[in-house]
Chains A and B, each alone.
Chain A
Amino acid sequence: MTYSVRQMSKLRRWVPAFLVLVLLAASCSSRGDDDDTGGGGASDTGGDNAEGAIDTSNCPTDPTTEIDGDTIKLVSSYPQSGATAAFAQIGVGWQSYFEMVNADGGVDIAGKKYQLEWETKDDQYDSATTSTNIDELVGTEGDKAFAAFSVVGTANNLAIRDTLGDLCVPNLFAATGSPAWGNPDYPWTLGSTLPPYTIEAQGFVDLLKEQKPDAKVAMLIQDDDFGRAYEEGVQQAIEGTDIEVVKTESYQAGLQVDVSSQMTSLAASGANVFFNGATLLACPGALSAAAENNWQRDVTWVSGTCLSKTLMGLAGAAGDGVYSLNNIKDPQSPDWTDDEAMTSYKTEVEKYFAGTDTLNGIVAYGWTQAAALVKALEAADAPTRLAVMESVRNLDESDDTGLLLPGTGLTTKDPDDEFLGERVNLVQYAFSADGSHFERVGDVLDFEGETAEYTPEDLING
Chain B
Amino acid sequence: MTTTTVDVGAPAVVSVPEYPPMPRPVLIGRIAFGIVLSVVAVYTPFYFAPENNRIISQALFLAIAAMGLNLLTGFNGQVSIGHGAFFGIGAFTTAILMVDHGWPFEATIPIAGLIAGVIGLLVGFPALRVRGLYLALVTLGLAVLLPQVANKYIKGIGGRPLLKPRAKEFSSLLSGLDDDQWAYFVCLAMTVLLFFLAWNLVRSRTGRAMVACRDQELAASTLGINLAATKVGTFAISAAYAGIAGSLSVLVDHLADGTNPVLYFQRSIEFLVAMVIGGSATIFGPLVGAFLLVMLRRNTEDLVEGKEVLAPAVYGAALMLVVYVLPDGVVGGARRLFTRFGRPATGAPPSPFSPTPAVLDPDPDPNPDSQPDQSAPDPVTPANPEPGGS
Residues of A whose CB lies within 8 Å of any CB of B are 1-2, 4, 6-7, 13-14, 16-18, 20-21, 24-25, 28-33, 35-36, 126-129, 131-132, 135-136, 139-141, 154-159, 162-163, 166, 223-228, 252-255
Contact = CB atoms under 8 A, between A and B. Distances in A.
Nearest to A29: B176
Nearest to A36: B175
Interface stretch (B136-144, B159-167, B335-343, B372-380): B159-167
Given A28-B42, A33-B176, A252 B151 contact: yes
Interface stretch (B103-111, B120-128, B178-186): B178-186
A358 B16 CA distance: 77
A128 B3 CA distance: 39
What is the size category of the interface that chain B forms with chain A? 35 or more
Contacts of B38: 17-18, 20-21, 24
Given A1-B204, A128-B259, A154 B158 contact: yes
A223 B259 CA distance: 11
Interface residues of B, dominant DSSP:
helix
Contacts of A128: 162, 255, 257, 259-260, 263
Contact of A159 (B151, B164, B176, B205): B164
B164 A131 contact: yes
A80 to B, nearest CB: 11
B39 interface: yes
Given A1-B2, A17-B31, A32-B176, A6 B19 contact: yes
Contacts of A2: 16
B19 A223 contact: no
A155 B27 contact: no
B168 A166 contact: yes
A13 B261 contact: no
Interface string B242-274: 000000000001110101110100000000000
A224 B159 contact: yes
B41 interface: yes
B30 interface: yes
Contacts, number: 133
Interface stretch (B43-51, B218-226, B292-300): B43-51
B320 interface: no
B177 interface: yes
A35 B178 contact: yes
Going nearest first, the 9 A-B pairs with the smallest beta carbon separation are A155-B158, A29-B176, A224-B159, A128-B257, A158-B158, A17-B34, A225-B159, A32-B176, A6-B19
A406 to B, nearest CB: 34
5 contacts: A20-B35, A24-B38, A29-B176, A127-B160, A227-B159
A31 B159 contact: no
B160 A224 contact: yes
Given A159-B162, A255-B261, A14 B181 contact: no
Contacts of A131: 162, 164, 254-255
Interface string B289-314: 00000000000000000000000000
Interface in B177-206: 177-181, 185, 196, 203-205
Given A36-B178, A157-B158, A166-B166, 16 more contacts: A1-B205, A7-B19, A20-B38, A29-B177, A32-B46, A128-B263, A136-B51, A139-B50, A155-B157, A155-B162, A156-B158, A159-B255, A163-B254, A254-B259, A254-B261, A255-B261
Contacts of B158: 127, 154-159, 224-226
B151 A166 contact: no
A158 B257 CA distance: 14
A155 B176 CA distance: 36
Contacts of B204: 1
Contacts of A13: 27, 30-31, 34
Contacts of B181: 32
Nearest to A24: B42
Given A6-B19, A21-B38, A254-B259, A223 B46 contact: no
Contact of A21 (B41, B167, B254, B263): B41
A24 B46 CA distance: 11
Given A20-B35, A155-B158, A33 B259 contact: no
A162 B99 CA distance: 13
Nearest to B16: A4
A141 to B, nearest CB: 8
B257 to A, nearest CB: 4
Contacts of A136: 51
Contacts of A20: 35, 38-39
A28 B259 contact: no
Contacts of A154: 158
Contacts of B160: 127, 155, 224, 253
B35 A17 contact: yes
Nearest to A156: B158
B248 to A, nearest CB: 16
A225 B157 CA distance: 8
Interface string B70-88: 0000000000000000000
Contacts of A129: 260
Given A159-B164, A166-B167, A33 B175 contact: yes
Residue of B38, B43, B177, B180 with most chain A CB atoms under a 10 A cut-off: B38
B12 interface: no
A48 B228 CA distance: 67
B325 interface: no
Contacts of A25: 42, 185
Contacts of B180: 140
A334 B31 CA distance: 80
Contacts of B255: 128, 131-132, 159
A30 B176 contact: yes
A4 B19 CA distance: 9
A43 B42 CA distance: 29
A191 to B, nearest CB: 14
Given A30-B176, A33-B175, A159-B164, A126 B159 contact: no
A414 to B, nearest CB: 27
B176 A162 contact: no
B257 A1 contact: no
A170 B373 CA distance: 60
Contacts of B263: 128
Nearest to A3: B16
A89 B138 CA distance: 42
A182 B312 CA distance: 41
A32 B175 CA distance: 8
A340 B326 CA distance: 66
B62 to A, nearest CB: 16
Interface string B326-349: 000000000000000000000000
Contact of B157 (A28, A159, A226): A159
A254 B40 CA distance: 42
